[in-house]
Copies of this chain bind each other. A is one copy, B any other.
Amino acid sequence: MNSPFAEEVKHFFMNLQDDICTAIQQKDGMAKFHEDAWAREGGGGGRTRVLQDGAIIDKGGVNWSAVYGELPKNIQKALNLSSDFFFASGVSIVMHPVNPHVPIIHMNIRYFETRKSKDSKEIQDAWFGGGIDLTPHYIVDEDAKWFHEQLKNVCDQHDGSYYSDHKKWADDYFFIKHRKETRGIGGIFFDRMKANSETSLIDLFNYVKGVGEAFAPIYTTLMSKNSSKPYGDQELEWQKIRRGRYVEFNLVYDKGTKFGLDTDGRIESILMSLPRMAGWPYDFQPEEGSKEADTLSKLVKGVNWV
């Protein structure tokens, strides 16, 4: 039996998946999400939903899962935990659009809870993590500013320090170290946020709810605004290169991906984040003064978009 709080979080996440799928599908207007429900041997399961060949979305996934059971020893070690029983639930999203002028977006919100053993009722440890970040193939300053403003609005409703702290965390996390490039224009990222003397687990849940509910209005706005912009072969080639960088980040650095691969998770659910097509032409260097060079120059940490 999961704790009543865990059940509440799980149901919120489940409904959020439904709402987001409905909003994206409606805005796309063409393709429909395909659902694969899966069960985990040790306990729990998930619903992977992927939309492909849409009018606006080339490949996009909205995954929900709620898993529980004995905490594997390697994860106890990796997370530095002494608990035997865990519950984890979350929603993960990645959208790869058709049109290179529409940005790639990623959202993840998650809750993790441990108990000393299966039979103990007391929660031993509990935390939230998550964030939203944007990866435009072409950075449009106005859109980047607007995107960060939306996130700041969400953050400010909960804690005046969240935006600047979690924006910096995103800059540091979504960094492709070997390229010395950020993955995109960042956003917010946070992990292992626990209750303390000033903030309850309910307060944190409310913040995470705010982040989750901000996703659909933010992304559908960016879809509408950019999906009719014209593009040609040059933009498609650049899109493939930026998607290649996305693959590099996810396979080399992303902790969620690594966790999934190491724990024998459902591969096609974990790797739904990878694009339908990506490319690595040798040593591509954008021409000086080009819009590709302009974007590259902005893929750095610490840009104050708001």
Using a CB–CB cutoff of 8 Å, the interface residues on chain A facing chain B are 34, 36, 50, 52, 59, 61, 177-179, 240, 244, 247-248, 251-252, 261, 264, 267-268, 271-272, 274-283
Contacts and interface: CB of A to CB of B under 8 A. Distances in A.
A208 to B, nearest CB: 27
A255 to B, nearest CB: 13
Nearest to A266: B283
Given A261-B178, A277-B278, A268 B244 contact: no
Nearest to A180: B267
A59 B279 CA distance: 11
A282 B269 CA distance: 9
A277 B50 contact: no
Contacts of A276: 279-281
Contact of A248 (B59, B251, B282): B251
A291 to B, nearest CB: 22
A279 B244 CA distance: 10
A251 B248 CA distance: 7
A37 to B, nearest CB: 13
Contacts of A271: 248, 280
Contact of A252 (B179, B251, B268): B251
B61 A282 contact: yes
Given A252-B251, A261-B178, A36 B283 contact: yes
B240 A277 contact: yes
Given A50-B282, A252-B261, 11 more contacts: A36-B283, A59-B280, A59-B282, A61-B282, A248-B251, A248-B271, A271-B280, A275-B279, A277-B279, A278-B278, A278-B280
Contacts of A282: 34, 50, 52, 59, 61, 268, 272
A36 B59 CA distance: 36
Nearest to A272: B282
A274 B59 CA distance: 21
Contacts of A244: 274
Contacts of A279: 275-278
Contacts of A36: 283
A266 B167 CA distance: 30
A275 B280 CA distance: 6
21 contacts: A34-B282, A50-B282, A50-B283, A59-B280, A59-B281, A61-B282, A177-B261, A178-B261, A178-B264, A178-B267, A179-B267, A244-B274, A247-B247, A247-B278, A251-B252, A268-B282, A274-B280, A275-B280, A276-B279, A277-B279, A278-B279
